[in-house]
Amino acid sequence: MDIKPINTNDDLWEHVADYAQNCTWNAGKFLAKQMRQQNFADRERVFVAQHGNRIAGYCTLTETDCIPDVEYTPYIGFIFVGEEYRGKRVSEKLIASASQYAAGLGFESVYVVSDHVNLYEKYGFTKVDEKLAPWGKVQSIFVKTTH
């Protein structure tokens, strides 16, 4: 399993956008739209997990997430693994790659926003905050050190 950070100039960009658009998770459509509109800052990346030439999953590293007006940054988001690759630690590898990239940018911590309970803790995250998301549901903010 290879994990590769990509940006808008990468040949895989549109292929990953298509995969996100057609995946089983509704948030994938939003990510695909963001990718096609090139709504990514220079240092932000999409991380793609590949098994051979097949996409197994993806995540992002971005400066912000869905919760406005908080001091936390950067965020690992849009973590998705295709059904046939689940249970193979692909999420863990994506999170590790995004964390290493953030460390290379000088960040000591990364954050995740989620309403899942007891999911991100197994990847070394701890809950640091709760905020109301724009859609009216409380979300937890988790933190993990990058080293």
Specify the pTM: 0.95
| SS3 at position 16 | helix
Give the span between the Cα atoms of 97 and 123, in whole angstroms: 12
Query: With contact defined as beta carbons under 8 Å apart, do 76 and 95 qualify?
Result: yes
Query: Tell me: the pLDDT tens digits for 7-28?
Result: 999 999 999 999 999 999 999 9
- Domain positions in the chain: 2-145
Query: Tell me: the pLDDT tens digits for 90-134?
Result: 999 999 999 999 999 999 999 999 998 889 999 999 999 999 888
Q: Which CATH architecture has domain 2-145?
A: 3-Layer(aba) Sandwich (3.40)
**Number of helical H runs and strand E runs in the chain:** 3, 7
